[in-house]
Amino acid sequence: MAYRVLVTDDVDPEGLALLAAETELLVDEVPTLPKDELLRRIGDYDAIVGRSATKISAELLRAAKKLRVVGRAGVGVDNIALDVATELGVAIINAPAGNTVAVAELFFGTVIGLLRQLPAAALSMQNGVWDRSKLMGRELKGKTLGIVGLGRIGSEVAMRAHAFGMTVVAFDPYIADERFTALRVRRAASLDALIAESNILTMHVPLNDETRGMIGKRELGRLPARSIVVNMARGGIVDEAALLAALEADQLRGAVLDVFTAEPLVADSPLRTAPNLLLTPHLGANTVEAQRNVSRDVCLAVRDALLHNDLSKSINVAGGSGEWGDLQPAMLVARRAAAVARAVLADQGMRAVRRLALRIGPDLAHGAGPLLAAAAAGVLEGVIETDRLNLINARSLAEARGLELSVGESNELGHPRAIEIALAGGMQQLAVAGVAPEDSKPRLTRIGQFHVDVNPRQTLLILTNHDVPGVIGRVGTLLGERKVNIAEYHQARLAQGGDALAAISVDGAVSEETRKALLELPDVLTASVAHFGAE
């Protein structure tokens, strides 16, 4: 089956060629579409790849019945209704690293341009003027640079600022002290403290509820006299009206804006004629190198998501570390162990699961988020009606049904790559455990108190029976008569003559009628079937 990919917003051809090279991907490249036209067309597509000009609204996502992936050839995802995408199970993939240097270089280009009055100088030369006295500049050396957001771009700016002889201070409550030390950046205790000493204040944070309007009239008023404010992050992080007022009152030396609350900036915006304001039309990422990088990065990840169901690059899988190569077998165990626990409990009359507790061995600790999502998907599969149950929406769908989810690391599971799922509801609970060793196949190792050893393939039959001779033969004969092929049969018991449990891995499906027939066999006490969905 071929997947259709819609590409908007001038995405670099090098990445698109990677998509077009796949026979299973049909790529349609269009210019940035007006909202209504995009809404009309989106229903035909499995993926959309674009940049900041295309708004991926809640309305668009709900209309996009086939959509599985949104690729963003760049960093900021404030143009995407992330919550709705997560609820619908649509993967959001961005290209976080490819344009970092482009923004950092534009920072120095524009700030030096502003300090040395380069736009005015160039214009004066075009106009036949030679006036050096009016074009006196200032240097970066010795000035204090205040960076808000010491992430990828903030860090690159900091490194280059040292080369210019600047003092570098930053405010970022989410970054550890070690990173500040490694970058030789002094940590400001608060945003206010940073503002109070910044000759140049620059914003490198995402736009969200915490950062919208972060620099307003009050903050601008607290900057040292004759400071410069730079916003290359997102429009609205620096309040445009307050900035305009501060520039008109000659309170600042100047400002640089590359991003605007509404883009494109309207032709008659008062910002266009404000004094000492250097404007660029969202050029931060506009270099040949950056566009090639982000296009390649995002297209590869979109390809892998569509063709190989690899969601490791989706930013809306909670806790994803980005590297899932070693986690896939563990995710399979988590999902299947949860499905087994749910099936067995349902046959004991417990249909409403209330709690899912995941415990993982230390070598899987980095995958806690995706593993919990996989376990949630295992509990829900076959229970809820959705054709888009996946690692992206499983946790939110489970929580919406009142299921409490938790995950913890444990050294007591007997293997560093062990996984245990405990489901509970009412008075009942059941734990199912497994392992995902690096060098052998994933196995289920425990169902309740019974030790088993079975590779959970397409379908697992779980029987409990009296531990008496003849049961295995009768079960095998019944399944054989019904053309159910047994791949593995693992019999476990707690004590001779007590209860026993059989974990039987079979090919294909086991009908409800076959399950009932198994229950009719002498000495069989319970029979549960876990059909595993697609991986």
Ligand X SMILES: O=C(O)C(=O)COP(=O)(O)O
Ligand Y SMILES: NC(=O)C1=CN([C@@H]2O[C@H](COP(=O)(O)OP(=O)(O)OC[C@H]3O[C@@H](n4cnc5c(N)ncnc54)[C@H](O)[C@@H]3O)[C@@H](O)[C@H]2O)C=CC1
Q: Could you list the residues that contact ligand Y (CB under 6 A)?
A: 74-76, 96, 99-100, 103, 148-154, 171-175, 204-207, 210-211, 232-234, 258-259, 282, 284-285
**How far apart are CB 50 and ligand X at their closest, in Å?**
8
Can 282 be counted among the known catalytic residues? yes
In the complex with ligand Y, the residue whose CB is nearer, 52 or 396, is 52
218 is annotated as an active-site residue:
no
Q: Among residues 73 and 80, whose Cβ is nearest to ligand X?
A: 73
Position 154 contacts ligand X (CB under 6 A): no
214: its two tokens? 């972060």
Nearest distance from C-beta of residue 256 to ligand Y, angstroms: 11
By CB under 6 A, what part of segment 495-524 binds ligand X?
Answer: none
Residue 260 CB, nearest distance to ligand Y (Å)? 10
Provide the H-helix boundaries in 21-117: 35-41, 58-63, 82-88, 100-115
- Write out the DSSP string of 137-182: ---STTPEEEEE--SHHHHHHHHHHHHTT-EEEEE-TTS-HHHHHH
- The single residue among 71, 151, 284, 367 that binds ligand X, judged by CB under 6 A, is 284
Q: Which of 33, 153, 161, 285 binds ligand X (CB under 6 A)?
A: 285
The answer to whether the beta carbons of residues 244 and 274 sit under 8 Å apart is: yes
Distance CA 320, CA 417 (A): 17
Long-range contacts at 455-458 (CB < 8 A, ≥ 24 apart)? 455/487, 455/488, 455/505, 456/332, 456/333, 456/336, 456/337, 456/340, 456/505, 456/530, 456/532, 457/487, 457/505, 457/507, 457/532, 458/505, 458/506, 458/507, 458/508, 458/509, 458/531, 458/532
Strands 144-148 and 167-171: parallel
Cα 250 to Cα 254: distance, rounded to the nearest angstrom: 8
- The DSSP letter of residue 21 is T
- Give residue number: closest CB to ligand Y: 151
Residue 77 or 391 having the CB closest to ligand Y:
77
Q: Which of 72, 187, 282, 296 is catalytic?
A: 282
74 in contact with ligand X (CB under 6 A): yes
Q: Name the active-site residue from 72, 160, 204, 234.
A: 234
Work out whether 313 is an interface residue with ligand X (CB under 6 A). no
User: Considering the rule CB under 6 A, would residue 51 count as an interface residue with ligand X?
Assistant: yes
Per CB under 6 A, 99 contacts ligand X: yes
Active site (annotated) includes residue 263 = yes
User: Token pair for residue 257?
Assistant: 């804006």
Indicate which of ligand X, ligand Y, none lies near residue 258 (CB less than 5 to 8 Å, by partner kind).
ligand Y
So which residues are the catalytic ones? 234, 263, 282
Site residues for ligand X per CB under 6 A? 51-53, 73-76, 99, 282, 284-285
